[in-house]
Chain A
């Protein structure tokens, strides 16, 4: 049977098939294309079935990889054909050949719409499928209501509805507004009652997308999903055609579990229980069977169940059961299972704290790194990268280095990058780090990106202990016969800077070192030559007295390249020649490079970019974003060798892959802002910059002497997005002094003078008194430390958010990250020293109000330069109260004491949790609360006049869950939330707000809960949130005008005064 009456097509296909080679095929295809073109051009009245044949030929040619740039109109026009066969071809080929932006598609929107709303079922299916595959925004706007109608219709058959579901998914992705969040959650619940597995599968795909974008809106779908899962796993009412090798639609099972991954906690104990039972059954009941298909299908379900368990707040035993299963999988011979075992273990690391259990499998994972299958090697590389920490870094990095020599090219760059990041993040000692990077360059120079060697240079520059060692090591590398050019660059740079430290060792005179480097000079590229020229200049000027022979040779080199075609090299030579001629006076100019401000490793950024893209953020990704919504540095808790500044260390071990989780050294953000993207260090040497040559790795801000003009405005506005954005500002200001200090230490020291305007320590009377308050009175205006930004604004933001900035001044930044569960919470303060000197006498004391219990951590007395300490507080709510906890924070910067009292954002709403309620439930409970003291009502005046929707949003952000639609009066808001406290346990609080549309400044507030204290406190709390503070205190000079040193201080009393 040839293509249902399309003999010409069959002939063409077999012709093409019989072609001996690609050229023959090409010419046959060209001939056919010419033929089709003539047909379309000449015979205007081409019969539809004729057209159909040519359109199929076009598709065939297109599939073979030839461009078909005509005939689109003819294809699209088939969509309007009255008969099914032609119409079908039109739809199918159009969706293959055209993309959503093609103009012709707009021409048929009307036809498509008519097919969708018509009563021919087969036409409906065709139209929905095409729109589902290539529909763009135009379609989204004009068709969404019709498609929704079909999906929700009771009269449509499943065959149409399943397509409508996926069509709607497309339209939703093109324009999320087509699905209205509020109404749709109810509709989705309704759709999940569907019996037909096909429709359910499609609806579940739609739900994954909806939930991924707005998980909060679809809580009410959870019970239904669990029920579907139950039905599937028990095989209830599953038609034979939907079971696959005895397994009820594994695809729907997988999709359903995927939806559930977006809901980490399941409140309802019964639903939770049945879900865990199902999962337990899958985890324990999946056996290896002989039939490959059955085995794969059941393991598909098993892996999805594993993923779901990771995301749920599952019990420890269940998690360790999962790790045990994965441990088994990574050791099996079956490659697919092994691959997935490794992949899922890596995912698990990202979500749950199982580092220690996974470490037990390290040997097995390393074996997989040597597997012949590259897919498996990649997975195991990723896993090793994720599980690496201080304890196993040495071993893992050494494995990676060893693998580097045999690894295929495809993976080398990634491998090198990861090894570099790990060795930096978890170096047990810094010498080891230098060794690793140099080995990397030696073994895989071509795959070591510039970022990697820039980074090692930064490290060596910033660690004096390391400099002689690094210089000696690179010197040894240069002696080897074949040296990679990158090694020459590093060596050139480091020897230029630090070879004088080796001078006492045999064979390390400046002259010797010059010859070693010069040996490589002729064979390197021009860029490297530029680095080496700087090195020569430095070596010469560092050696005192100058060796005449060395001088002669160096000057000889400069002269030779004085006329280089490369402008950079030429300029360097000319300038260095001048410097040499000026003699020893110029030594200072060639002084060592100043330390680099700590900055985020560019490497981590690169590592992130390898992330794949998907239509929706996965549950894992969303979770990570929540966990790490604050990019703060985490100092190394156990500083190895107190002299080193802390090395970067990710806050939780596996987070390196996620952008937001990246530890960011305090200065980096600003650095990048100033340096116009990621420090590409090859700044051409300008006459001025040559002062600090070699200027490689140099950015404007680190070359204060030459570029004072780059200093930014004195008070950069703190950016809400980038917490650390303006950290460098004080440095920059100092960097632009009117007088340029002439001794060479000035460059090194520019960052060390903290106060800029008032150099030197604070006046002498500040000798050791403990109380910063008393001190403040004596301090001159020069020494006062102002917060950068508004403490009150930060605090307000933290009332509704769980992470953000609490306080910041030029020396310190305090970030907060909190997590609340029921009656308890954990609040972590990240206290970061932004400054280049240590902060001493650090005091972090919380004065808890009576209704809270605080367990405070020990706080170190001193915070080293550019380090950060974490102070985790465990907090328990004893009973409802509006009092605030106050943090007394004080430190000494040099001799200048700074103290500030800060309100901690531990408020009632943190112990509230929104609960969904049904109308009946609400009314029942509402009536049960008869009046005071369990139900209190008050007319509140002076309310901030805000629209109702904004008020509802405010409530939701305070964890007071608004239940839309419960109150028939549209001017009212009804809310339900559970308040957790030790005295009253979980108290369901019901709230009703009746507003007056004609006067938005007043409303009636009713709060009810079984516990009188909670009722009263909650009512007052809500009132505080609603009342317009400004109208009550018209002139609020919250901070007194003559600001003392502790100007940031807002005592609790002052704060309360401001609020009430």
Chain B
């Protein structure tokens, strides 16, 4: 029951955010990302949000031009992860106000902070948006 990576790519398949919870070499990452982006992005909207790839199950969700892809092991509860993606997006929304690709691109560190607060060691650690944003907002205030 583990999240193995969280990946955010745009429609062109460019990586906008990537966090792995198991170590892969850069070559392995490149290959994996290439394969799953190709697989998931090609799927029409009326197909299910789960794709099996090698030993991963990819749970993905599309928001306009952005795709959130979460790789999990075979034991995860798929729908719970699917909604967790939405929870991440809502958290980003709350911080950036209608989050878009550029927000995440140019505030890479903020996106990392948020994800870091929400997932740790492949487990969901927090879903309370206020708790998640507290440290970032605190830092914003001090700078």
Contacts and interface: CB of A to CB of B under 8 A. Distances in A.
Interface in A242-290: 242, 244, 249-251, 254-255, 258
Given A202-B125, A300-B77, A614 B2 contact: yes
Given A3-B107, A163-B120, A372-B47, A340 B125 contact: no
Nearest to A304: B77
A931 interface: no
Interface string B127-143: 11111001100010001
A65 B48 contact: no
A23 interface: no
Given A65-B33, A296-B83, A612-B55, A159 B47 contact: no
A387 B110 CA distance: 49
B26 interface: yes
B127 A614 contact: no
A251 B124 contact: yes
A133 B120 contact: yes
B96 to A, nearest CB: 10
Nearest to A376: B48
Contacts, number: 182
Interface in B72-93: 73-75, 77-80, 82-84, 86-87
Contacts of A538: none
A718 interface: no
Contacts of A96: 19-20, 112
Contacts of A378: 52
Interface in B29-46: 29-30, 33, 43, 46
Nearest to A89: B109
A65 to B, nearest CB: 4
Contacts of B30: 65
Contacts of B120: 129, 132-133, 163, 166-167, 202
Interface string A538-569: 00000000000000000000000000000000
A296 B126 contact: no
Contact of B48 (A198, A249, A335, A611): A335
A244 B73 contact: no
A339 B48 contact: yes
A1019 interface: no
Q: Which of A63, A92, A159, A208 has the most CB of B within 10 A?
A: A63
Contact of B125 (A65, A99, A122, A201): A201
A133 B3 CA distance: 12
A5 interface: yes
A569 B123 CA distance: 58
A63 B15 contact: yes
A336 B131 contact: no
Interface in B103-128: 105-109, 112-113, 116, 120-128
Contacts of A463: none
A761 B19 CA distance: 73
A469 interface: no
A866 interface: no
A612 B1 contact: no
Interface in A873-921: none
B51 interface: yes
A201 B124 contact: yes
Contacts of A376: 47-48
B95 interface: no
B71 to A, nearest CB: 11
Given A202-B123, A340-B79, A241 B19 contact: no
Nearest to B142: A84
Given A65-B15, A244-B127, A340-B78, A170 B83 contact: no
A615 interface: yes
A611 B55 CA distance: 8
A691 interface: no
Interface stretch (A54-62, A312-320, A745-753, A819-827): A54-62
A43 interface: no
A336 B50 contact: yes
A2 B139 CA distance: 15
B116 A92 contact: yes
A296 B78 CA distance: 10
A1036 to B, nearest CB: 51
Contacts of B130: 241
A67 B26 contact: yes
Q: Which of B23, B26, B43, B116 has the most CB of A within 10 A?
A: B116
A743 interface: no
B47 A241 contact: no
Given A166-B121, A249-B127, A375-B52, A293 B83 contact: yes
Interface string A148-181: 0000000000010011001101100000000000
A251 B80 contact: yes
Given A17-B105, A241-B128, A251-B127, A100 B23 contact: yes
B100 interface: no
Nearest to B58: A375
B141 to A, nearest CB: 12
A300 B80 contact: yes
Given A339-B50, A614-B73, A63 B121 contact: no
A3 B15 contact: no
Nearest to A250: B80
B48 A293 contact: no
Given A242-B128, A376-B48, A613 B112 contact: no
B75 A303 contact: no
Contacts of B29: 65
A969 interface: no
Contacts of B78: 300, 303, 336, 339-340
A130 to B, nearest CB: 9
A100 B21 CA distance: 11
Given A92-B116, A258-B1, A296 B82 contact: yes
A300 B79 contact: yes
B18 interface: yes
B129 to A, nearest CB: 6
Nearest to B134: A159
A85 B125 contact: no
Nearest to A615: B2
A540 to B, nearest CB: 49
Given A99-B23, A129-B116, A304-B77, A198 B128 contact: yes
A786 interface: no
Q: Which of A129, A133, A255, A335 has the most CB of B within 10 A?
A: A133
A59 B109 CA distance: 10
A45 B109 CA distance: 24
A208 B125 contact: no
Given A56-B109, A251-B124, A335-B48, A615 B73 contact: yes
A618 B121 contact: no
Given A17-B105, A129-B120, A375-B47, A208 B83 contact: no
Contacts of A928: none
Given A5-B143, A241-B128, A336-B82, A375 B50 contact: yes
B30 to A, nearest CB: 4
A334 to B, nearest CB: 8
A10 B109 CA distance: 12
Given A249-B127, A375-B48, A65 B55 contact: no
Interface of A: 2-5, 10, 13-14, 17, 56, 59-60, 62-67, 84-85, 88-89, 92, 96, 99-100, 122, 125, 129, 132-134, 159, 162-163, 166-167, 169-170, 197-198, 201-202, 205, 208, 239, 241-242, 244, 249-251, 254-255, 258, 293, 296-297, 299-300, 303-304, 335-336, 338-340, 372-376, 378, 611-616, 618
Given A303-B79, A618-B74, 11 more contacts: A63-B17, A64-B15, A85-B143, A169-B121, A242-B128, A250-B83, A300-B80, A336-B48, A339-B78, A375-B47, A613-B73
16 contacts: A14-B106, A17-B105, A84-B139, A122-B135, A133-B120, A241-B128, A254-B80, A293-B86, A296-B79, A297-B79, A335-B46, A336-B78, A336-B79, A612-B73, A614-B1, A615-B1
Query: What 3 A-B pairs come out closest when comparing CB atoms?
Result: A300-B79, A335-B48, A612-B74
